Structure 1
Amino acid sequence: MRADAARNRRLLLEAATAEFAEHGMEVSIARIAARAGIGKGTVFRHFASKEHLLTAIFEHRLDQVAARGEELLDHADAGRALLTFMADTIESQAADRSFCQAVSLRKRQDARLRAASDRLVAAAQALTARAVAAGAVRDDVTGHDIVLLINAVAQATSPLGDAAPGLWRRYLGLVFDGLRPQAAHPLPVPAPTTLTPGT
């Protein structure tokens, strides 16, 4: 890719990421192009449709979250590493309210998003296994539980995000206390084995 084309692609992805985060998925290509300082035709030279642009952005976001989880596997405190992973992921979702909705709508249909989602789950599984082995969380918790709890906290606090932007930290604290092994009771049903409906 030529240097100018690479620059335009970078500007386009940065502008689109910001627009979707701030205004949701209904943002027009014209608005994204204007923010990037490029023409609409340039957008379509890089991405055949708005759907392709969305997929590229959300694949990158999922990869970023997974990479952060993989990085935290080297943290000496396994419990702190898991909590940090959960906090970082929820914080990124709080900053982009369209993210969870968009990924959930697209990942079942798109192989790249499924692969990126699988990488994220694998990171969560590995972090959870380390925390369980260290005695930091109860031994019946799985990485799938962690991903679902992350989404639960993010979605529950999203409607109050503007008025209380740090509210998710309170509920993450409550959730993580519930993961600790002290006074744990048996759970009534097992953890899911997949996060993809219908499989």
Structure 2
Amino acid sequence: MTLRADARRNRDLLVAAATGVVAEEGPEASLNEIARRAGVGPGTLYRHFPTRDALLAAVFEGRLSRLCEQAEELSASAPPGEALVAWLRLLTVHAMTDKGLGARMMLPTSAASVDCWAMLRAAADGLLKPAQESGHLRPDVDFTDLVELTAGIAQSAPDPARAHRLLTLTLDGLRIPPARA
């Protein structure tokens, strides 16, 4: 069903407001606060998103789509090793920002209308395989390794600078060591 222009605008305002509020407060953020920041009433929020999970799914799907687009952009514009590192930095910041939203949306029972794991895997594979084939990354590293490492860093790092350092140290361990003379 196609939404009227005003309904589409309200939906977009709600998703934008929810993105900000969830980044600040996490997935249990106040729905009333989201409606207030969007400049609409709670009834409008519930007409567009009958459940909290439906709203959270819209927020997460938008953020995940952008992250996947960035993987494609990096793949097209940077050498394989650099593209992968840059995207893993974006993935770490993404995980730090979502305050548990990603874990909630990756569950099989989530309200997400897309397969979030498949989207993330496709984006990562588009960067992982070329980095391995070009000799920048160990061949035994897989998608799950990358997601678990970045998620662990995101959960343990108190700030982006610390996350950046931890990711750099981790990636150094995933590179193919230089040949010994």
Which residue is equivalent to 1:108? 108
Which residue is equivalent to 1:127? 127
Map 1:43-192 → 2, pairs under 5 A: 43-104=45-106, 107-110=107-110, 112=112, 115-157=115-157, 160-161=158-159, 165-182=160-177
Does the Cα contact within 8 Å between 2:105 and 2:112 map onto a contact in 1? no
Does the Cα contact within 8 Å between 2:26 and 2:100 map onto a contact in 1? yes
Q: Aligned partners of 1:149, 1:73: CA distance in 2, in Å?
A: 21
Q: Aligned partners of 1:100, 1:54: CA distance in 2, in Å?
A: 10
* Amino acid of the structure 2 residue aligned with 1:166: A
Runs of at least 5 residues in structure 2 that lack an aligned partner in the other structure: none
SS in 2 for 1:95: helix
- More deviation, 9-18/93-102: 93-102
Q: Deviations over 1:90-115 (max 9, x none)?
A: 122223323334334xx311474661
Number of residue pairs the alignment of both structures matches: 177
Aligned match of 2:26 in 10, 24, 39? 24
* Cα separation, partners in 2 of 1:35 and 1:111, compared to 1, 3 Å: closer
Identity %: 38
* TM-score of the superposed pair, with normalisation by structure 2: 0.89
Q: Aligned partners of 1:11, 1:136: CA distance in 2, in Å?
A: 42
Q: Aligned partners of 2:112, 2:15: CA distance in 1, in Å?
A: 17
Which residue is equivalent to 1:191? none
Runs of at least 5 residues in structure 1 that lack an aligned partner in the other structure: 185-199
* Amino acid of the structure 2 residue aligned with 1:151: A
